[in-house]
Every structure is written in C-alpha cells, then in structure tokens.
Structure 1
Amino acid sequence: MEYRSIGADPKTARTVSSIALGAMLLGTFTDERTSFDVLDRFAEAGGTFIDTSNNYAYWFDGGTGGQSEELIGKWRRSRGVGDEITIATKLGARPLTPGTGYADNPEGLSAKAIRAAVEGSLERLGVDKIDVLYAHIEDPHTPVEETMDALTGLVAEGTVGLIGASNWAVWRLERARAHAEVSGATGWSVLQYQHSYLRPRMDIPQPLFRDGSFGTVTADLASYLREQGTTLVAYSPLMGGVYTNPAKKIPDDYDHPGTPARLAALREVAAETGATLNQVVLAWQLGHDLPILPLVGASSVAQIEETLGAVDLKLTAEQRAKLDAAH
C-alpha cells in the first residue's frame, strides 16, 4: 500500500492509504460476515481510509440510513481498531423520515442539523471524534456561512478533525472557502466527487442530481482543485462494474461518441500491462497530475484483491498519453 497526506495544515493533516474503501453497501446489500471479511482484508493490506455516510443505505429498506456506520462501529469494536484507521463520514443527505429520500426531505446543513447528525454518527461509529466529515450535498436553504461556522465549531471542540464537501457547485465551494479565509473558519481539506476514466456529457443532468451535474468532476472543478491543491476523493471510479461486466449498461450521460475511443485505449493499455481494466482506471487516477484518491467499494474479498493490485501498477508516460488523448 502507498500513503498520502490529506489536509493543508501540517498540524491537522492525516496520512491515509492511497485508496479508500467505500462502505456504502456494507451491512445491508453486503451481509455482515462478508462485510467484515472485506474490511479485514483491506486493513491487513495496509488500507487505512474507510468512507461512509449517515444516510447509507436508506434505500435498502426505505428507512433513513445509518446501517453502514453501525457495521463499521461493530467491526471496529470486534477488532480493537483505533486511530490507525481514518473514518470519513458525511451528513446533510439523511432523510428526515422513512420512505423519503435525500432529494425530497433531507436533514440539511443548518447548525442544528449538523450538531444532531454528528451526535448520531459518533454513536453509531462508536468513536469520540470523526476523522473526516463531509457536507454531503448542498443545502440551498441554509447560508454557507452558517454551515461553515457550525463545522468550524465542531473542529474547535475536537469532535471533528478535517472537513470536506461532496457534490457542491464550484461557486458554492468558493463562497465557503472565501468565508473561511475572511472569518477564520475552518476550510476544506478534501472534496469528494464522482470521477472515472470515461467522461460524462455535461449537457444533460446526472440522474442523481435533479438540478445539474454537480456530482461529477467538471473542468471548472478540476481547475479549482488544481489551484487550491485540495485532494479529490473520487467516488465510483469503476462506475459500478461498467468496465468489466458486460451485463452493466453504460449510463446515458456517458453514452456518447467519445466513449468507444476511451474504452479502446483502456483495453490497449490493459493488454500491454497485463492488468485488468479496473486496475488501469485506478492506476490512471493514482498517477494523475491532480491529487486524486480513488474511493472504491467492494462486496467481496476478490474485488478488494483486484483493487489492491492497482497500487503497484505504474503506467508509463506513453501509456498515460494514450489514455489521455483518447476522445
């Protein structure tokens, strides 16, 4: 395993594994025994960064979520896991009532909602401090200043380590950053967005986001990340198995004339290296000029093994140029 530092301030920065394990479906769609096996293998291989959310996986049973956090908490206690594992969780998108969703009835990012959400996550995870806390989705009904001040208060009291944002528009990220700079509030240490080798269309909304494609890394967001030097935690880098599972359909927003060329280049590099398509995608991210940390889910130990193999795969300059040039 390789390791990277997240967080600009050396006093608060954390060193984490270069690949994060996404725990979204652990404890629900993936049963407890298999989930423990996945977590055990990840930790055994040197993985130290696990990602979840307080609303995972509310769609499993029509509830409000929290099962993933509970599963991680149970695993931590059973294995005696401590500070050597960095746990990241998210708030803001947990449904307020069962049978609703994040787009219909979310808890939001008000100061009151943030405080209540953090207390719930601490209890489910069985920890005294949340290492990394993301504002999961935008809250158009709450000023970003209120959100940032509330998060800053949690950092100041030691309840939260680093803060990040996920699925925000770039202008809102910048408004929050500017407020932090002027007021002394805590700023972003990490940002989490969907990013993969295939490129999405930007002229149609993402299915998960009714008001646009804020969940995807756009050119504006890439520029922002490069300027700020902020780490991108890239969720769904393998797009749910699209690269390797013929039964998986390419999503509509990725099904365009540029996609076949990208897939062809990917297959060529995989053939040259002897690696799987998934491993080439992850290696491409790990060696990117942007600081990208792939966030990969797994429902079996075999999937974890494939992911771990990407860490040692080093693409040549020519292979990277071939992948980058395809369009």
Structure 2
Amino acid sequence: MARHTMTRDAQREREAVELEFDAEVIDEPTDVLVESNPVSGPIRVPRKAALGDTGIAVHPLALGGSVFGWTLSHEASFAVLDRFAGLGGELIDTADAYASGRSEQIIGAWLADRGLRDRMTVMTKAGRHPEHRGLSPRSLQGAVDASLERLRVERIDVLFFHGEDAEVPLEESLGAVDRLITAGKVRSIGASDFSPERLIEARVLAANGLPRFQTVTTAYNLMDRRGFEGAPELVAHAQGLAVLPYFALAGGFLGGGVRRRTDLRHDARGARLARHLGRRGHRVLAVLDDIAAEHGVTPATIAVAWLQSRPTVAAPVAGVSRPEQVDALLAAGSVQLQRSELVELDRASA
C-alpha cells in the first residue's frame, strides 16, 4: 500500500495521548452543524452516534474525566473541557468514585460557569463511592442525590452501575433506578463491566417492566481485544447496547510515545504499559504509524478510529492530560479507514 512521504520517525515524534464493511471505506461521515456556544462559534462535527434507545445522539468520542481532580487541577481540567467543547465534543464520562467525587465537582462547576449544560451529555457511575458503596436501593438513592449536587444538574443523562454487586439482587437495583427515573433524576441507565450472563438477566427483568440497560462500558482497544470480543460483544449486539469502550488507547500505549523499556516511567502507569512492549505491541504500533502517515494524523487518532469502526461501538472513552491532546481524539470521527487498513490493524492486533 502506498504511504505518505512523512517518515515514521517524524510520525513517532508526535505526542502520545491517553487517549459489515463495504469494498472501499467505512460509512462516510456526515457533518453536523453545532450551534454557537460561549467556547466557540458554529462548528461542523462528524456523524452522530446514538446511545441505544435513549434518544441521545452525540459526537462519537467521550471525554474521560477520571483524571479531573486527581492528576489534573481545577484550572487544568477546565482547559481540557474548554478544548473538548470548542472542537465539538458533547459526551463527558465520569463517576462518583473518581477522585472521591472531585471529578464530578469540577465538571459541574465547568458546566455552570460555561453555560453548556444543554449541549453536553453527562454520564456518571454509582456503586464505588466510599459513602455509597454497592447497588442497594439505599446506596443508589444516596449516590444519585450526591452526584446531582456535585454536577449541579437536575438529571443524570446516563447512570452506570459501576460493576456488579453480588450481594444485591439485580431486580432490587433496577427497581431503585426505576423510581429515580420516575422522579426525573435519571434519564437512562448503563452497565459498567457486567458479565454477559448478568446482561442477559437484566434484559429478562426489563422484559418484565424494569428499566433496560441502553449502554455498556468495558475495557477494549487494539491491545485488549479478547475480554470483549466473543460472548460480551455478541450479547451487546443482540441487545442493541451502545458500547462505550474505555482505555481506548491502552493506557496511552497506542499513542506511540512508548517504544522501548527506557521510555517507561518507574510507576504504576509504566508497569501497565510494559506489558504491551513485545512483538505484538511493536507490530501494532508499526501499522498505526503507517496508516497515520497515510492520513496525516497521529497514531492515537487511528487507534480511536479503529474502535469507531467496530459494529457495536458508539463512542470510545479516552482521557487526556493537556488540552492540545483533545484534537487527536476528536479527529478520529472524521477519518475514513479503508477496508485494507482495517484488515491490517486486525491482523497486527490478533
């Protein structure tokens, strides 16, 4: 395949961010006009992604908020959120357990300060906050009320169950959410890291009148495929669930900034990245480099575009540490990967 004249070394110097096909290309994006807002003027963004049957359609990339209030300060988080909104981003992912609630507080303060609540879709998770652990009706009620206060909103757009709770019957948890939906505090629900068996149980309960999961989030990327592909993917497809894969860039590895062990930091993140430094990891990075050079984008952009090409994926979730890194993530929605490029990526990452 012919490649752009940009050298692989030049491509590697670009910043790493933690960030049924037809015969030619994946569905061609259709631009959508986004109205003016305090951050930017009218802008055009790629096709929208539907979040199940929620009636919500958004730019196909979610900004992860796990670093807000943890590794990013209030001001730095605002700068990232400003860049995200200014470039057409609409979907923000957080959890009540992220930085013990500080992530939600920062997002809530930003929404209020910028006046963007009506344009942004906010997803949060309940079940792991120290004060509201588990999925009992009492915990869910307390968690939702606390999240609403921190986010400064009247309703949570998508509330995720943050992992399974073996001690609480799922029927009780869904019943509690049903009351929260009726009260107008929650619009829709999703499951985070649920097993296929638990999702099937949830669908049976939904058939009997309880709220139905519309979305599911799980770890999934070019380096971590086996955990999702197979039964989880089949169940998600059969149930029409919108998949929102987190760790979209394998902890930053797919951004291309780590090529050898001397590039690793001696911390927990470095240890996580080290497991990808093998033949398979280098093979994936080489293909990402080539395809990125062809399209004139970064390897991170191609890694996210690959996820967006998957039949069940609605919007990958990725976080950044600096505002300028947002560009590569959102750019993926405008990349048209050819069938041959998808085959290359599939083979390299198999």
TM-score by length of 1: 0.84
SS in structure 1 at match of 2:345: helix
What do the CA deviations read for 1:232-282 (whole angstroms, capped 9, x no partner)? Answer: 111110122112222345557656664443333323322332321111101
What do the CA deviations read for 1:114-158 (whole angstroms, capped 9, x no partner)? Answer: 001001001101111111100011111001111111112211221
Match of 1:154 in 2: 180
Q: Which has the higher contact order (CA 8 A, sep 6+)?
A: 2
Cα distance, 1:301 vs. partner? 0.9
SS in structure 1 at match of 2:245: strand
Pairing 1:269–2:319 present: no
Counterpart AA for 1:198: M
Distance 1:189 1:322 in 2: 32
Distance 1:117 1:307 in 2: 30
Match of 1:194 in 2: 219
Distance 1:255 1:78 in 2: 43
Pairing 1:78–2:89 present: no
Verify the 8 A CA contact 1:199 1:259 in the aligned structure 2. no
SS in structure 1 at match of 2:125: strand
SS in structure 2 at match of 1:292: coil
Verify the 8 A CA contact 2:248 2:317 in the aligned structure 1. yes
Verify the 8 A CA contact 2:49 2:314 in the aligned structure 1. no
Cα distance, 1:199 vs. partner? 3.0
Aligned-pair RMSD on alpha carbons?
A: 1.9
Distance 1:236 1:175 in 2: 26
Q: 1:305 aligns with which of 327, 333, 346?
A: 327
Distance 1:26 1:264 in 2: 32
Cα distance, 1:176 vs. partner? 1.3
Verify the 8 A CA contact 2:189 2:213 in the aligned structure 1. yes
Verify the 8 A CA contact 2:135 2:173 in the aligned structure 1. yes
What do the CA deviations read for 1:79-126 (whole angstroms, capped 9, x no partner)? Answer: 122221111000001124xxxxxxxxx700001110010010011011
Q: After the TM superposition, which residues 252-267 of structure 1 pair with which residues of structure 2 at under 5 Å, given as runs?
A: 258-267=280-289
Distance 1:273 1:162 in 2: 37
Unaligned residue ranges in structure 1 (runs of 5+) = 58-64, 97-105, 203-215
Distance 2:179 2:124 in 1: 17
Distance 1:147 1:161 in 2: 16
Q: 1:184 aligns with which of 187, 194, 209?
A: 209
Q: How many residues align?
A: 293
Q: 1:245 aligns with which of 257, 264, 284?
A: 257
Counterpart AA for 1:235: Y
Match of 1:230 in 2: 241
